[in-house]
Amino acid sequence: MDAIEVIVAKRDGGELTAAQIDWVIDAYTKGAVADEQMAALAMAILLNGMNRREIAGWTEAMIRSGERMDWSALDRPTADKHSTGGVGDKITLPLAPLVAACGAYVPQLSGRGLGHTGGTLDKLESIPGWRASLSNDEMLGVLREAGAVVCAAGSGLAPADKKLYALRDVTGTVESIPLIASSIMSKKIAEGTGALVLDVKVGSGAFMKTPERARELAETMVALGTDAGVRTVALLTAMDRPLGLAVGNALEVEESVEVLAGGGPSDVVELTVRLAREMLEAAGISGKDPADALGDGSAMDAWRRMIAAQGGDPDAPLPRAGEMMTVEAPASGVLARLDAYAVGLAAWRLGAGRARKEDPVSAGAGITLHAKPGDPVRRGQPLMTLHADEAARFERALAALDGCYEVGETAGEQLPLVIGRVTA
């Protein structure tokens, strides 16, 4: 076989055979298919799509490119959650210890942010001492100690996806349902979780801008998980405005700790509890309400154990950015609109995100919101506070926010927090 034959087949709208898919993924992982050839194939897939059989074969080939983790030594069911990414989406931080406190093991491999979306590992790394890289044995140790572990995927897990994702990122081939579904599910299936809840974000701050596209992605991923023997459910949830009031790394850790202490913004609490219930149901665990575990301190205890088991100090003060700037409400009325993408872009420009994978992020940078869409505001009151390490960053962040929030007489339309649910 050769790469050109596979590229041309997809370029001309054909179906790839199982043998072509197995060969191209294996050869790309080993370096026998060049980056430019894989980039051409990824673009052909983005433009012409893949059917369910091709997507399943592509996903299996990516899983086979590396190791599969095995948690059979554990005495309780495993459950995980994956979000397709958004702005202010810190849900993993309270959710993983919450579900652990309710009786499941949560082995979560997470990622870093890129562009306007935040990354769970970047957020947790703002906790002094916390380590994202663990060996498989260390992961098992943290799971036994705390019930939950959140860490980076090792280099042995779906290496084909690692190479392909980096390539897609710089070739305009991220927003393809077959490529996103196979990328996410190859890692989640290789991770070895028994149950999986997918949080598929919808709106300006998400990869999927409409509920229809999000549902198609969710159905594709649920089918892949179910066929691989993972009990998989997806929720479609709102990302037309930011989630919670904090956007940034340390700022989102702070908000997550508020939720674990029984407080925090209502949308973050509601989504955390809803996802926890879904994870417990998928794992076959009943009899414990996650809302109680937030109230009685058991989720906070699990969080403290999890952070400490990964080298972090849960009591250490979090880093803060040196410079702050307030954006005021331009009029009195109701905050009618606050665009998630614009807030994510502004936070990124303030230093909370990175432009290239190897760039560092600022732990303290980001945005604190003082009002959410639907809230009454008075002219001149603070709408948001921008945080950055250098004041020079404020100008470009303000440019990102320009025209992206509106004060009116009535609240504008917004998506319901949970838009839909997809099961097998």
For residue 99, count CB atoms less than 10 angstroms from its CB and return exposed for 0-12, middle for 13-18, buried for 19 or more. Answer: buried
For residues 42-101, which are near ligand URA according to CB under 6 A?
Answer: 84-85
For residues 282-301, which are near ligand URA according to CB under 6 A?
Answer: none
Structure tokens, 182: 């196979």
Nearest to ligand URA of 38, 180 (CB atom): 180
List 187, 241, 337, 349, catalytic entry? 187
Side chain identity at residue 219, one-letter code: E
421 DSSP β-pair partners: 235
Among 23, 58, 105, 165, binds ligand URA (CB under 6 A): 165
Residue 106 binds ligand URA, judged by CB under 6 A: no
Nearest to ligand URA of 168, 231 (CB atom): 168
Nearest to ligand URA of 206, 294 (CB atom): 206
Closest residue to ligand URA, based on beta-carbon distance:
183
Q: How far is the CB of 168 from ligand URA (least distance, A)?
A: 7
Among 173, 183, 362, 368, binds ligand URA (CB under 6 A): 183
Whether residue 82 lies in the annotated active site: yes
Among 45, 98, 109, 180, binds ligand URA (CB under 6 A): 180
- Helix or strand or coil: residue 41? helix
Whether residue 168 lies in the annotated active site: yes
Among 38, 139, 184, 224, binds ligand URA (CB under 6 A): 184
Nearest to ligand URA of 18, 174 (CB atom): 174
List 112, 116, 168, 354, catalytic entry? 168
Give the Cα separation of 256 and 122 in Å (integer): 14
Q: Kindly report each contact of residues 42-45 with a partner whose C-beta sits within 8 Å and lies 24 or more positions away, as own/partner.
A: 42/164, 42/167, 42/168, 42/171, 42/173, 42/176, 42/179, 43/171, 43/172, 43/173, 44/7, 44/10, 44/11, 45/10, 45/173, 45/176, 45/178, 45/179
Whether residue 75 lies in the annotated active site: no
Pick from 294, 305, 292, 203: nearest CA to 256: 294
Residue 195 binds ligand URA, judged by CB under 6 A: no
Pick from 166, 167, 134: nearest CA to 153: 134
Q: Is 296 left (phi over 0), alpha (psi -120 to 50) or beta?
A: alpha
Catalytic residue numbers, as ranges: 82, 161, 168, 183, 187
**Residues in the site for ligand URA, rule: CB under 6 A?**
84-85, 165, 174, 179-180, 183-184
